[in-house]
Amino acid sequence: MHRFFQKLLIIGCLLNTGSVFSAEFADTVEHKFADNDGVSIHYAKAGSGPLAVFIHGFPDFWYTWRHQMEGLAGDFTVAAMDTRGYNKSDQPVGVENYDMELLINDVVAIIENEGRESAVIIGHDWGGGIAWSFAAARPDLTSQLIIINLPHVKNLARELAKMDEQHRNSQYARNFQSLSSHENISAERLATSLSRGDEALYAIYLEAFENSSADAMMNYYRANFPREPYTSGAFLEVARIKMPVLQFHGLADTALLANSLNNTWEELDQDWTLVTIPGVGHFPHHDKPEKVTNMMKAWLDLQIE
């Protein structure tokens, strides 16, 4: 089996998902578009109150956040985006169009489109990389930061530089940096890896991935993932994080190892709440949706008090 899909099969084995919103909540979801210098960014919106922006990772789209959107919509305006290249967002061609600064500005566009002065920023996987980078670059727009299974980006680069287990387990990412890597990716395989035999969920993911660009997916890695010797790049240039942080990490994640969590506090100016979940892999918000959603709600309530 091609090594490009080893990570995806691991992910698929760990998922435990419900495939749909409740009918009542589904009726409240609105689909909107924000513009970032001519690039259209799609997002799904519901609820009312302070804005919370959700940023998905690879391979995924806005629907990954269905449990958390429904859980938080009673207290927040929830906006889950399709990052550029995915589903209903634009898919500009060229590695340069996936530079981290542009990805940050896509999030800015959503906040501005909603007429807000700031938002809770929530990210998973590549969405977590964008979220860490966004919070560092735009603390003025970030009220709180919530991260799922993406160590602080400086720490990830630190662990890669050790050339040990994290470096070995990140070989898939270096493979993805190849200019031909997208040729080994199909919508069917991606949808299969994420749906875990759920036919309804498979159909939802298949449609989204058929509407996405595999080349764009790989451009996130080509443009931003650290390269040897891990002494420069977007992940190493982020400023200190100035707002409170809630971080989840499934300890069974074999792509992003828990050692990268060490010394995270050295990059933070405010409190850090870390929730590690034994026996859970790369997708805690799918594997343990109630735990993750309820912890988000409780933590955000404490921030408001």
In the chain, how many domains are there?
1
pLDDT digits (tens, 9 = 90+) for 192-202: 999 988 999 99
- Higher-confidence residue: 303 or 41? 41
Domain at 286, CATH number? 3.40.50.1820
Please state, in angstroms and rounded to a whole number, the distance separating the CA atoms of residues 126 and 147. 10
pLDDT digits (tens, 9 = 90+) for 134-179: 999 999 999 999 999 999 999 999 999 999 999 999 999 999 999 9
- Mean pLDDT calculated for residue range 222-230: 94
Model confidence at 7: pLDDT above 80: no
Residue 210's pLDDT is 98
In percent, the amount of the chain with pLDDT more than 90 equals 88
pLDDT digits (tens, 9 = 90+) for 275-305: 999 999 999 999 999 999 999 999 999 987 6
pLDDT digits (tens, 9 = 90+) for 246-276: 999 999 999 999 999 999 999 999 999 999 9
Domain of 205?
Answer: 3-304
